[in-house]
Amino acid sequence: MLRKQKAAPASASANGSDAPRQPSSGAVIAPRPGAASSRSAFRQGLFFVLFGVAFSAAGAYASWYTLRSQGMGFYSDEESLKRFEPGPGDSEALEVEETINSLPLVAELRRRPELVESRPHMKMPAQYRARSLTGSVLAGPGKMPVPPYAWIEEGGKSLVSITYIGKNLCGHPGLVHGGLLATMLDEGLARCCFGALPHNIGVTANLNINYRKPTPAGSYLVLRAETTQVEGRKAWVKGRIESLPVSGEAPVVYAEATALFVSPKFAAMLPKIA
């Protein structure tokens, strides 16, 4: 007598999956082999990304440490004040340096304990400064014969700087080029707020300038800036360039500006040039 054969189990599910399935008794369906391998690949990829970030940060730190140990790193505020001396035959630089250090305004600024004095361009190593517009290209006899001085209030609250502009940086004859004033305002207002931004550095997002009066060449110029608002990675600053104060007279305002600076997300990897 012939016996009836049982039907063979299906080799694949109705949705086309080749994963084995348990009887419909409530047992858990076994995961597909591909899912486990996908998770493993994700973890491996994440590991390499984190390793790369850590390695890059360590490499950047090592590079700057090496530069600094060889005298090529960025210098402190105090060190910057000792890194410039006019040459014995540079009469213009000698006169300008002596004049700035004898100004009543300078004496007043040096008496204020909340201000930190520096020469920002002299904080740069020579290799870096050589590629700086204001630290190298615009520096020298007839231009900016000595590096500007700056006094910055801690926390990036305010700044005062003094710069001598010679007679070879003109737009119209005898008048300082308006583009140079814009550059001074851009750098000065930025430097003012660095202390209020993450990692003490920011880039210009917006700069608005109003030119008030022609600026005579061969002048000592005072730049004053104040940080007016800070929100996370953003800082708003206002400032002006004016003449040296004269007893009994208000300074002449040559240009005024407002600006917005933003600390970039990669700021931690940038050198501090303030």
The domain locations on the chain are: 75-269
pLDDT in tens, 21-45: 554 455 555 556 555 566 666 666 6
Annotated catalytic, 186?
yes
Per the model's pLDDT, the better-predicted residue between 18 and 191 turns out to be: 191
On whether the pTM is more than 0.75, the answer is: no
Asked whether the predicted pLDDT for residue 78 surpasses 90, the reply is: yes
> Which two three-digit tokens encode residue 195?
């202390």
Its sign, for the CA torsion 28, 33, 34, 38, is: positive
- Total residue length of the chain: 274
75-269 CATH choice from 3.10.129.10, 3.60.10.10, 3.40.50.720, 3.40.50.1950: 3.10.129.10
Sign of the alpha-carbon torsion through 165, 188, 125, 138: negative
Tokens of 53: 């970030």
Those residues whose C-beta lies under 8 Å from the C-beta of residue 151, and which sit 6 or more positions away, are: 109, 110, 112, 115, 116, 117, 159, 160, 161
Per-residue pLDDT tens over the stretch 215-226: 999 999 999 999
**pLDDT confidence of 46, banded at 50, 70, 90?**
low
List the Cα angle 50/55/61 in 5-degree steps: 130
Residue given tokens 């004496």 in the structure block: 107
